[in-house]
Amino acid sequence: MTGTGPTASLGKALAWSVYLGVSWTWCIGMFLPVLMLRDYGPWGFAVFAVPNVVGAALMGWVLRTGEASLRMCRSHASAVRLFSLVTILFHLYFVWYLTQAGWVQGPLWPWIAIGVFSLSIFTGLKTDNPTEALWPWGISVTVIAFALYAGIEIRLPAGASREFFGIPAVAWIAPVCIFGFLLCPYLDLTFHRARQSLTPRDSKVAFGVGFCAIFLAMIVFTAVYAGWLLGLGAIAARVPTAILLHMLVQAGFTTGLHIREGLRSFEWAGGNGARTSAACVGAIGLVAGAAALVRLNPSDNISPAFELGYRVILSAYGLLLPAYVWLIMIPLRSQNTGPSKANTAVWLGACALAAPAYWMGFIEGKEWWLAPGLAIVLAARVLISSQAAARSPTQDRPPPETPGSPKAT
């Protein structure tokens, strides 16, 4: 692969920081804090926010060169593609709920929501320059300013006080949050795109500012409107519409970015691992879809049926995806190889064994079960073979050159 490599520029680094902050503002950052505050109070928000911000920012330090990022994407093409597929599915599910949740009334609202979401997807698909992320970020900043000026009552729920074996429930869920948020960033193709376009010094600036400032401001805003979504706080007219506009724009732009990067992955990885990815996404989608078809009475202003499907898809980021990084990507990092069939079987087997415990913890509200579930995944590392997997022709083919991409070594 030929190219001129990334060039150092503070302005460029700050532009990429906006891109990163916007690309990571998902239906997780815009909604999960609401559930964490409802269930665990302010400590729940801290357990969500700290590992999320720190884990994402650290990627700019851990991947020392753009070439390392390129090799990682090429060696684990199936996994990074799976991450994007699950993310796209998650946003489609989330936006479907926004169109009929009743937070904004009016017969035209579903069509307006779909239009805004679709337009944002299109702009994400066309994003070639990080400065193009300024417009969705600008909309969100405007919404935040408008909401605070027009009037929104900030009420943070106290959360439940349940304990297991004398330990608060939030402490049981904390290790899973740390595990997921520290490891999932290495499967995000939008992060890799930024890392490959920046020098080591500028990468630290972009990832640091992008997550410790821009993204952090986004999730703090989620905490601001959490009381309204839970039916606890008063809100001025037109602010709900503005908040949902923020959600739709961010969700659509992120979806467009992942569609774009996912399609590009087929150029340099072919259909390698497509069956595994399709099977995982299909299974998650079927369970979430079945949950969405169940009609239950709303609780705390949020449909329990939607929340069940939301938690099912969310569990992929707490179990399936970070388990891949822990069991396969990290052990084989220095070898520049993809997973063998044996290691893939260990990964999927460990996830299958841990899944019932995760269900009890995430769905049934018995968080102590998450401890043995996570222990199964962590312990499975001893079964991973460090033997290099055989390369396929598509794995040997380097990614196509893009503007600002570094030279491969």
pLDDT tens-place string over residues 104-131: 878 888 889 999 999 999 998 888 889 9
Query: Which pLDDT score is estimated for 300?
Result: 59
* C-beta separation of 282 from 105 below 8 A: no
pLDDT at 146 over 90: yes
Query: Which pLDDT score is estimated for 384?
Result: 87
What percent of the chain is modeled with pLDDT above 90? 57
Single out the residue of 270, 83, 354 nearest to residue 192, CA to CA. 83
pLDDT confidence band for 402 (50 / 70 / 90): very low
Those residues with Cβ within 8 angstroms of residue 270's Cβ, 6 or more apart along the chain or in another chain:
394, 397
Which of 7-11, 62-66, 166-170, 253-257 is predicted with the least confidence, judged by mean pLDDT?
A: 7-11
Query: Which pLDDT score is estimated for 125?
Result: 87
User: Could you report the per-residue pLDDT of 91-100, keeping only the tens digit for each?
Assistant: 999 998 888 8
Query: Which pLDDT score is estimated for 136?
Result: 94
pLDDT at 4 over 50: no
Average pLDDT over residues 134-160: 89
pLDDT confidence band for 21 (50 / 70 / 90): very high
Query: Which pLDDT score is estimated for 403?
Result: 44
Residue 344 placed within a domain: no
Average pLDDT over residues 136-161: 88
Range of the domain at 230: 10-274
Residue 332 placed within a domain: no
Residue 270 placed within a domain: yes
Query: Which pLDDT score is estimated for 10?
Result: 85
- Cβ neighbourhood burial of 232 (10 Å; 0-12, 13-18, 19+): middle
pLDDT at 399 over 60: no
pLDDT at 296 over 80: no
Residue 187 placed within a domain: yes
Q: Higher pLDDT residue, 171 or 4? A: 171
Which of 171-175, 183-187, 226-230 is predicted with the least confidence, judged by mean pLDDT?
A: 226-230
> CA-CA distance, 148 to 103, in Å (whole number)?
18
Model pTM score: 0.85
Query: Which pLDDT score is estimated for 350?
Result: 97
**What residue type is 337 in one-letter code?**
T
Q: Higher pLDDT residue, 296 or 135? A: 135
pLDDT at 155 over 90: no
Average pLDDT over residues 382-405: 53
> CA-CA distance, 367 to 364, in Å (whole number)?
8
Average pLDDT over residues 383-406: 51
Residue 232 placed within a domain: yes
β-bridge partners, 152: 235
Residue 305 placed within a domain: no
Single out the residue of 117, 5, 82, 142 nearest to residue 323, CA to CA. 82
Query: Which pLDDT score is estimated for 236?
Result: 87
pLDDT confidence band for 8 (50 / 70 / 90): low
Residue 129 placed within a domain: yes
Single out the residue of 151, 124, 150 nearest to residue 136, CA to CA. 124
Provide the mean pLDDT of the chain.
84
**CA atoms within 13 Å, Cβ hemisphere of 188:** 26
Question: Tokens for 231?
Answer: 């039916």
Which helix or strand (DSSP H or E) is residue 95 part of?
helix 77-100
Query: Which pLDDT score is estimated for 2?
Result: 35
pLDDT confidence band for 162 (50 / 70 / 90): confident
User: Could you report the per-residue pLDDT of 306-344, keeping only the tens digit for each?
Assistant: 899 899 999 999 999 999 999 999 887 766 677 888 999
Q: Which single residue is written with the structure tokens 């196509």?
A: 400
> CA-CA distance, 293 to 296, in Å (whole number)?
9
Residue 372 placed within a domain: no
pLDDT at 250 over 90: yes
Selection from 8-12, 197-201, 264-268, 302-306 with the highest mean pLDDT: 197-201
What percent of the chain is modeled with pLDDT above 70? 83
β-bridge partners, 299: 302
- Here the contacts of 293-301 (C-beta below 8 Å, separation 24 or greater) are 300/38, 300/230, 300/231, 301/229, 301/230, 301/231
Overall number of domains in the chain? 1
